[in-house]
Amino acid sequence: MKFQKRKGITYFQKGKNPQLLIMSGTHGNEYHILPTVVSVVQEMESILPSFMYIPEASPSAVKQKTRVNGCGHDINRGFGKLVDPEVLALKELISPLSHVLGISFHEDLEFQEFYFYDTHSLGSEQLDTFRKQVKELKVPLRTGFDQPDDPALSYAIKEGYIDFVGAASKNGQFIEDWAMYHGHFTRFLTFEIPYKHEQVALLVKNCIQLALTLL
Ligand SMILES: [Zn+2]
């Protein structure tokens, strides 16, 4: 994969009209999975449709290995209105995208269990199939709360899934709130990967495959 760089943000693009955006490295303390995501995306490149891949959405946070970036911001809180050169660079990079499905890889550093957020809602059959695939990897699915102390979250997770998260909004909390408001994304999935799990690469692959079924 030949990466390009724009205003400090490294990215890869296959084809001219991406249908899919793959991101990771939004929170710099969630850096463990970054090399895994790179290798899985590389492995899947030939079977993926036109897509954009941003391995480090917040390069300064990844460099520091901290949740906040070089300007002291958690870029995924108040993304729509943050005054921050890195946020502006990311907005500029995302802006040419139109109606893509976005997915982002995070790590919940507290629980070694898998769960994911969806701005929309999966059909029960599709969700069951995906849960089965995850269970086959012996990855536990989280049931319970995500981050009760985080006012932007505090969602109840059921068997690894939370639907209808966030809302399209100009000044929204999350990257996807802003991007959906402006028509760059149609839907967004945020995967919380238990990075210590030995099947982490296959789990990441399953997540991307799930996204492909939604295109
Ligand atoms: Zn995160």
CA of 108 to the centre of ligand 1 (A): 7
Number of domains in the chain: 1
Whether residue 148 is predicted with pLDDT greater than 80 in this model: the reply is no
Which tokens sit at 51?
A: 């897509």
Closest CA to 119 of 165, 178, 186: 165
Whether residue 193 is predicted with pLDDT greater than 90 in this model: the reply is yes
Instruction: Give the global pTM.
Output: 0.96
Give pLDDT tens digits for 201-212. 999 999 999 999
- Percent of the chain residues past pLDDT 90, beyond the cut: 90
Closest CA to 26 of 55, 50, 51: 55
pLDDT of 152:
74
Print the domain residue range for 69.
4-213
CA of 136 to the centre of ligand 1 (A): 25
Residue 54: partners with Cβ closer than 8 Å, 6 or more residues away: 9, 10, 11, 21, 22, 23, 24, 25, 90, 93
Here the CATH number for the domain that contains residue 44 is 3.40.630.10
Angle in degrees, CA 85, 102, 147, rounded to 5: 80
CA of 14 to the centre of ligand 1 (A): 25
Neighbours of ion ligand 1 (CB under 5 A): 27, 30, 106
pLDDT of 43:
98
Mean pLDDT of the chain: 95
pLDDT of 174:
94
